[in-house]
Structures are given as C-alpha cells and as structure tokens.
Structure 1
Amino acid sequence: MTGWERVHPRLVLVGALWPVGPVVGVVLFDGWSLPAVITLSSLIVTGSVVAGVYTLRWATTRYRITATAFEVRSGLLFRRARSAALDRVRGVDVSAQPLHRVFGLATVVVSTAEGGVRLDGVTRARAERLRDRLRPAGGEVRLAAFDWAWLKYGPLTFWSVGGVGVAVGGAYRVLDSFGVKPYELGFVREVYFFFAGLPVWVAVGVLLLGVVVLGACGSTAWFVETWWDFRLSRSGDAFKVRRGLLTTRSMTVDRARVRGVQVTEPLLLRAVRSARTNAIAVGLGSAEDRSSAPKSALLPPAPLDLAWRVATEALGVPASFALRRHPRAALRRRLGRVPAVVLPPVAVVGGLGVWLSPFLVHLALLVGLAGLVAGTWLAFDAYRSLGHAVDGSFVVMRSGTFARRTVVLRRAGGIGWQVSQSPFQRRAGLATLTLATAAGVHAYRVHDVLVADAVDLGRWAVREVQLSGSSR
C-alpha cells in the first residue's frame, strides 16, 4: 500500500446517530413537556455539530503505508500530518465501539516510543490488514482462552460494591441533566416508602443485601462485556490479545518490549487462589500499566497457576521464587499504624456518645475492638506479603494486603535506582528501594528493607547505571 486512502464514509453515520439514545430517553422519561423540548433541541443541535465534525474528518483524513512509515493526514484549516516509523512500532491496537461495530468500522492505534498514531473509521477487515502489515505475524499459538468458569471471579472485586454507588450517582446526574428529578419518579418514591416502613436494622440489612446482589450482577456483566471471546496467543515474537462483547479490542505487543509482568491478587480473589496478570511493556503508557487496566492485561482474573504460566510465557520468568523475608521491624511499623488509624474516629464517636447518648459509646467500643482485631490481622498479612528476590536476570518484589502485587522486572530493563527513608523508617533502620524502568509506571518499589540490602539490590539490579540514591 503506497497511495493515499480515505477512511470509510460510514464514519459519518457514527457521528450522526449517537444522539438517538439520549433523545429516546428524554421522550420516554419526560414526554413532550417544555423542558423536554428544550433538551431535545439542544441534543439535535449538538448532534448536527458532531455530524459535521465527523463529515469533515471523513473528507479530510488520508492514510498510507510506505516502505518506511505509517502516515496519517487530516484537517482542513489546521492540517496535521502524523507518522510512525515501521521499525519503531511497538504495538498495534484495533478496537471498535458499539456504534462502530454496527457499521462494521474499527479504530487502529499504532504505538511507538514517541507516542502513537490513531486512525478512526476504517472497516474491520482493513483494520486487520493494517495490523498484519504493521506487525507481520508468524504461526499463531494459543496460550489462553475465555473459560466460563472464570465468571465466579467477576464479583470478587471492590467494584462489585463500589460500582453500585458509581452507577447510581451517574444515573442521577444523567437524569438531572435531562431535567428529570429522580426523587419524583414513581418507583423511586415506592422504594423510599418501603424502606421507611421497616425497622432501622432490617432496612440496613435489606439495603446492604441489595447492594451486594446488584454489585455482583453488575460486575459479572462488566466481566462478560470486557472479556468475552478473550484469546491470548503468541504469533512470532509478539503477543496478541483479543477480547470484548460490545466494544471489541485486539492488541499486539512485541515480546521484546516487555520489561516485566505484574501478578495482582486482590484480597477476595486471593481467597479463591486467583489473580490478574498485566504486562509491564514499553509503549503502553503509564496510565495503562495499573494492575486493573484492561489494555495491559494479558489475562483476566483467572486461577493463580494459570496467571503464573502466562507470566512465565510472556517474560520467561521461573515458575517459582524463593522470596527473602523482610526484617521484623517492618511488621512493627505496620502494627503501629493500626491504633493510629482506628482510635481517632473511635474517640470522636465515643466523645459524642458521652455528650449525646450511651448508645454511641457502646458502638464506639464495639467498632474500636473490631477495628483493632481486623487491623492487626491485616498488619500481619501485609508483613507476610512483603518479600523480594533476585533470580538470574530478574528482580522480584512483592507487597500489599488489599491487593497483593508481585512484580517481576527484567534486569536489562532497569535504568536507575534510588534508596529513600522516611523519618520513621530511619528510626527502624529500614529504607525503600525504587527501581526505575522505561516501561509501565516507570518506578517499582521494594518496601521496608535494610539500608545495606537496598543498596546492594539496587546496584545488582542496575549494575551498568551509576545512579546512586540517598541512604542517609
């Protein structure tokens, strides 16, 4: 492909039809009242502007692949020319939003060390051909695929509960923006009067049960939408990840760009021996290296042994490590935080109880006792999670209790190190080692190790780079 080509004209329909959903919602909820007519008028005007923008994008966007680069030109008054050298391509991401899927379109994002080039509005078949041209494929070997047994892991995250609050708050803002007062809706008033007629403890119990059930259903639905038809395969020296139900995504990552892996075990997932696996790779961007970021994910929440098999395949890491335990002073630091976190709010509630009601005093004592017991258990668990190791060409670090993260970094990917101490660490003779790399979030930490061990580990991990940190 050498001549300039245009994106598909169906891109105009994507821009023109997005207001259909909001318009239907306004008509259903608010009829043809004056506020509804005003809202509908604003939606139509906005939709017309967006349709014009998409029409201009279709008319002015051209792309081509030359012998050395992938080039995209766009714009009418302000022309933009973007280029990605073929020998600098680090990943190709093909995705399709729901409206794009309706019209058979996709978006291609070509990632390089300098950034990325985005092309929106090509057909799905053309997007696949562009990806294969930019990242030539060898024989494809499947490493993992979606398993319906993994559905049980969907609700075992924080968002199974917190997501309910986010969804309710988002729905309230959307309805309010359309001039609909949610508290005046009939079913909302019925729910309110239902709970108002129950005893307080029964109402709280029913409400918590409802939140848990709704959260479990919502997180399971999100799991299915995100990971539907998931496939991880190796093609030549690259990994391909395909997934998605409504929004599909296909991502290719060169194995040579992978600097490490992160295996994350949130508290509930750890209880059933499962984890998430994410790549620490150059070209994904720091925002996509979070342990919950789908773009850097090599595997959804899955059995722990499979998570480590995928990590081993991605980086060639050993199947197991003998982690070195951290000093007992690290445990004392964590135990010392428990009363500092639990006692202040308990003291406030207890003080209010002395002034207002003995019930608050009893509640403060019960909550304080439960908080101290739970905090002590979490402190011991956090200490047991601490560990680090060196194994051939890899540095391993583990920490965390609510989400235990094991990071395995390739030694060749390190670019610097730093040893730092807080005043409390200095008193305990401990320090934190930060290893810098060009991939992921760029900095990974080994918490609460002896100062001498931190310096030795930093020098070993980045032997070629003379970037010393402060250990005083």
Structure 2
Amino acid sequence: MFATLAVMLTIFDGGSVFGIDAIVSVVLRLVLIAVVFGLFQLAIESVRWWHYELTLEEESLVVRSGILRPKRRTIPVSRIQQSTVSTTTVSRLFGLAALECETAGNPDEPDLSMRYLERADADDLQRRIGSVTEVDTTSSEPPERHRVFTLRPRELVLYGVTRIHPKTILLAVLAWVGTTYFEADAITDLQTIVITALEDLLPLSPAVMLVLIVLAGWLLGVGLAIERMGNFRLSAGEDSFRRRHGFVRTTDADVSSDRIQLARVRSNPLHRLLGLAQADVGTAGLSEPIPFGLQWPLAPLARRDVAWELLERAIGVDLSTVQLQSLPTRARRRYAVRYALGVVVLAVGTAIAQQFVPATRAIPLPLFVPLLVLSPLAAHVTWSHRGYALLDDHIVVRRGFWTRRTYVVPADTIQNLTVSQSPFQRRIDLVSVRLDVASMPFLPGVPLPDIDASVGGRLQHRLLEDDSDDEFAETTSEYDDGSSIPSET
C-alpha cells in the first residue's frame, strides 16, 4: 500500500528521474507516507476503541461498534468457524493482542475483530467461545493438544525462495516506473546528498535498474514470507488444530476438524524436485484475499509424505491406497486440438497485425511452427497431470502442471454440483463437473473437467441420494445409509 501511494505521489509531482534518484525518491516518499498514515491511524483507532464493546453471553457474542453509525451484532458461538489471536512487535511491548473470529456469513472480513486486548484475555476468549472443539468450555483448563509439525529452518527458507512473489515484484516495478518517468519538482538536501554519493559508487542504466528492482521486489517477498511463517508450529487435539507462527506479527489460530470444508496439497516443480509439498485446509469463514488464501495452513512446506499425513489427519480418511483415475484418452486429443487451434489463431492474428502495425513485424511467423509441433506434447502434459478418485465419502481431484493441486473434498460439504457439457464435449461424450463448497464463495469451485459423461451422471446421482438419505435419517434413527460412491481405480 505504501509503495502504491508513493507511486501516485510521484506521478502527481511530474518530471523524470533515473537510477539512484528513483530509489531515494521512493524511500523518502515512503517515510513521509508512513508518518502521516501512522498519525491518521492513531486517531482513528483511538476513536474506534472508545466506541467498541464486546459482551460474551452464554451462547453468543454481542458486539456494539460504530462511530457515526452505531450497530449491534449478535454472533452465535456455534456458528464461528475459526478464531485467531495475533500480535505485532509494538503490541507485544504493551502486552496487547487482537482477536478475530470468522463465520460463514461474511467471507470478506472477520465478523469479530477485537483489538487492544490483554494477551491473557484474548487467549481466554478464544478458548471460551468454543470455536475449535466441542469440549466443556466452562472448564478452566485448555484442551489438551500435542505438537504434530514444526517448520524447520531449511524448509522455512525454501518456502520463501521457491515462490515467485508476484505482488511484491509488481509493487516494486510500479514504484520504479513511477519514479523513472515522473519526478518531484523539488528535491530535498538529504535526497541530493544520498543520490550523489550512490551514483559515484554505482552508476546504473535503466535496464540494470529494472533487473535490480525486480530482484529487490522478489527479495522483499521472500523476507515477508519467512517472517509470516517463521517459528511455525502445528498442534492437534482430539477434534481440532492450532497453528502458531510469525516473527514480527505472531498468529495463534484455532480450527475445529468438523469445520473443514476441503483440504489441499500443492507443489510447484521445485517442490517436487526436492520432494516437498504444502498442505492446507479451507473453512467457511476464511477472509484472506482471494485467490491467495484458501488457506488455513497445516504445513507451509514439508516432506511430501508428512504433508499427506497431516491432510489425512485433518479430514479423517486414509488416502495411502487411493489410485487416481486418469481422464479418458479422448480428453487428451481434445487438448491437442485446442492447443493447435490456439497456435493457428495466434499465427493468423499476428500475420494480420503485421500488415497494419509495423512493430509486430519483429515477431517471426516461423516461430509458430515449433509451437504447433509441440501442441500434442503440451496436451499430454496437461492430461497426465489431471486425475480424480471417487471414494465413499470424499472426492479427490488433481490438476495443474506448474502448480499441481490435489483437492480432497468431503462429499457432505459440497454445496452445489454443476455438470456442464460444451458442444465439443458432446461430440466425444465428455462433461465438466464443478464442486462448490462454502470455503470458496468467489472462486469457480473445484473443477473436474473432461471426465466421462457416465461418471458425471453417477456422481450427481450419488450426491442426490446422499441428500435424500440425510433427510430420511433425520426422521428415524434406525436407518443408516451404507451406500458409497463407486471407487475408480
């Protein structure tokens, strides 16, 4: 945010600046913005604290807040999906913490955000609201848990360096572009002194500056990732998990096993080369920015077998013997035709553009020939990295090459199942299935594309049967549905 504001101020100032001037200009603007923003936040938070009141009743939380528009909210304790206690370096100096609780009703932001609590009070509230287990919340003793995973320093460093960090790179490049083409009319004496000293030591061209800015943005992302997940510890109780992590901003979050909507294991090529993977779960109350969050991490980065063990423990199913079913081979042919047509369209579009836009003539048309030849290989890679398994109570979906994601979705958490078929799929008897769960309200669900039409119909029929059985089970306790989704091996 600070970097974006610095770019805006620089653009409004106008002018042109290169090299070290750009770096110093951005830094000075960031310092100025940070001071102004800090004073503004101090005033706002003081007024907000004065008008905030939280009451813990027997089965609900009552929140009174608002300055110009006061409001009163009642949050049933049983609806809370997860709770988080967090601290920062400054808050720890004063012994303060923040408590956030989330329900399925508001995925954009926490339903309860209580700041400036005593750390002991925040921990006590987190335990008493019963958001993580169904134990006796009147007990003075916290639920018993034991450590199941600790992020080692090597894995922590790899967690940071094996990621691209596009957000920080983009902010760094935007800041550099703004200060390269727009400059303030007046430069302070401090800025002039620093620029002169650095330019004598390190003369830089714009091209080198761009490379260094991208590297600086990536390093910033690495540092933020390491800080966020540093000292990561995962503890497990009978029916709950608790994670603690962070160097500067510490996070202490709880989630109950029965709140988990889906689980995921993911890895990029570097992770797979090193035998590592990430494991996380999703609940209905997550408010982290989409699409960067699902995200209740079980293991930010761990050995592949450890990641799968944690996932199995979270969802309560053994996946060690599960064999994923490949997509039909006619799906691979469909991908090959799709990619080949895409290359042809690009080639034709480039040829037409070269008649009207001289700059596009630098693109050689023969370049599209090897792309066309590689279309079948790309189709095979896509096809081989997709698969699925239909278990008794869970659906497993794998997809993605660069970032391979394997989703495990409990059947009883599926809110909506959509079966679609395009005209091209109809010709080869394929369908696409989308599984919508409450933890991903703004994403297109978990996709299961290009499966056999009979499998899609059987899956849809099976879920409808489950709904009917659940309704019948509510009226009689003597009936227990023993049917299952046929496994595809």
> What band does the TM-score fall into relative to the shorter chain?
0.7 to 0.9
What's the offset of the Cα at 1:261? Answer: 0.4
1:456 CA displacement = 0.6
Instruction: Give the partner amino acid of 2:331.
Output: A
What is the Cα deviation at residue 195 of structure 1?
Answer: 4.0
CA contact (8 A) 2:172 2:214 kept: no
Q: Which residue of 2 aligns with 1:78?
A: 69
Alignment of 1:141-160 (within 5 A): 141-150=146-155, 151-159=157-165
**Equivalent position of 2:15 in the other structure:** none
State whether residues 434 and 448 of structure 2, in contact with CA within 8 Å, keep that contact through their aligned partners in structure 1: yes
| Alignment-derived partner of residue 412 in structure 1 | 412
Match of 1:63 in 2: 54
Over 3 Å counting, the alpha-carbon distance change for 1:48 and 1:394 in structure 2 is: closer
Cα distance change of structure 1 residues 306 and 44 upon mapping to structure 2, 3 Å threshold: closer
- Supply the distance in 2 between the matched residues of 1:310 and 1:174 (Cα, whole angstroms): 47
CA contact (8 A) 1:289 1:296 kept: no
Q: CA deviation at 1:354?
A: 9.4
- Classify the secondary structure of the residue corresponding to 2:272: helix
Structure 2 residue aligned with 1:456: 458
In the alignment, which residue of structure 1 is the partner of 2:474? none
How do residues 52-451 of structure 1 correspond to structure 2 at under 5 angstroms?
52-115=43-106, 116-135=111-130, 136=137, 137-150=142-155, 151-159=157-165, 163-170=168-175, 179=184, 194-195=204-205, 214=216, 217-285=219-287, 290=291, 292-293=292-293, 295-320=295-320, 321-346=322-347, 360=362, 363-365=364-366, 367-369=367-369, 371-372=371-372, 376-441=376-441, 443-451=445-453
Q: Indicate the RMSD between aligned Cα atoms, in angstroms.
A: 4.2
CA contact (8 A) 1:378 1:401 kept: no
Q: Residues 176 and 66 from structure 1, CA distance in 2 versus in 1: closer, same or farther, beyond 3 angstroms?
A: farther
1:66 positional shift = 2.2
Consecutive unaligned residues of structure 1, counting only runs of 5 or more, are 1-17, 197-202, 467-472
Distance change in 2, residues 1:186/1:338 (3 Å): farther
How many pairs are equivalent? 423
Give the conservation status (yes or no) of the 8 Å contact 1:388–1:398.
yes
Aligned residue type for 1:260: L
With the length of structure 1 as denominator, give the TM-score of the two structures: 0.75
Q: How far is 1:236 from its partner?
A: 3.6
8 Å contact kept, 2:79–2:103: yes
Whether the 8 Å CA contact 1:153–1:301 is kept in 2: the answer is yes
**Residue range with higher mean Cα deviation, 261-270 or 300-309:** 261-270
Amino acid at match of 2:452: L
- Paired AA for residue 63 in structure 1: L
Provide, for residues 178-200 of structure 1, a one-character-per-residue CA deviation record: whole Å limited to 9, x for no partner: 9489999669978996447xxxx
SS in structure 2 opposite 1:463?
A: helix
User: In 2 relative to 1, CA 279–176 (structure 1 residues): closer, same or farther, beyond 3 Å?
Assistant: farther
Tell me which residue corresponds to 2:17: none
- Distance (whole Å) between structure 2 residues aligned to residue 354 and residue 128 of structure 1: 68
Task: Report Cα offsets for 1:279-327 as digits up to 9, x if no partner.
Answer: 1222225x6674x427422221332222111101111222332111111
- CA deviations on 1:48-98 (whole Å, 9 max, x unpaired) are 554332222222222232222222222344322223222322211122345
* Structure 2 unmatched runs, 5+: 11-20, 131-136, 469-489
Whole-angstrom distance in 2 between the partners of 1:191 and 1:450:
65
Distance 1:354 1:53, change over 3 A: closer
Contact 1:395–1:461 (CA under 8 A) maintained in structure 2 = no
CA distance in 2, matches of 1:234, 1:179: 55
Q: Is the contact between residue 265 and residue 405 of structure 1 (CA under 8 Å) also seen in structure 2?
A: yes
Residues 354-393 of structure 1 show CA distances to partners (whole Å, capped at 9, x for unaligned) of: 99799946x553x435544665443222101111112221
Letter in 1 for 2:247: L
CA distance in 2, matches of 1:96, 1:177: 38
| Compared CA separation, residues 446 and 190, structure 1 to 2 (3 A) | farther
Query: Displacement, 1:435?
Result: 2.3
Tell me, yes or no, if the aligned pair for 2:282 and 2:294 is still in contact at 8 Å: no
CA–CA separation in structure 2 for the residues paired with 1:102 and 1:232:
25
* Counterpart-to-counterpart distance in 1, 2:392 and 2:290: 24
SS of alignment partner, residue 319 of structure 2: coil
Residue 395 of structure 1: how far off its partner (Å) = 1.0
Provide the C-alpha distance between the structure 2 equivalents of 1:309 and 1:261, rounded to a whole number of angstroms: 12
What is the aligned partner in structure 1 of residue 477 from structure 2? Answer: none
Q: Is the 8 A contact 1:433 1:458 kept in 2?
A: no
- CA distance in 1 between counterparts of 2:255 and 2:297 reads 11
Query: What SS does the corresponding residue of 1:139 show, helix, strand or coil?
Result: coil
Q: CA deviation at 1:336?
A: 2.1
Report if the CA contact (8 A) 1:93-1:249 is conserved: yes
Compared CA separation, residues 179 and 277, structure 1 to 2 (3 A): farther
Name the CA distance, whole Å, in 1 between partners of 2:454 and 2:175. 50
Between the aligned partners of 2:88 and 2:175, the Cα distance in structure 1 is 20
Deviations 1:102-157 (A, max 9, x none): 54432211122334211122133322222122235421111111111212242223
3-state DSSP of counterpart to 2:325: coil
In the TM superposition, 1:17-36 aligns within 5 A as none
When residues 117 and 99 of structure 1 are mapped into structure 2, their CA distance, relative to the original with a 3 A threshold, is same
Secondary structure of the structure 2 residue equivalent to 1:154: helix
Alpha-carbon distance in 1 for matches of 2:168, 2:200? 23
Q: 1:382/1:461 Cα in 2 relative to 1: closer, same or farther (>3 Å)?
A: farther
Compared CA separation, residues 164 and 373, structure 1 to 2 (3 A)? farther
Does the C-alpha gap of structure 1 residues 209 and 77 become closer, same or farther in structure 2, counting only changes over 3 Å? closer
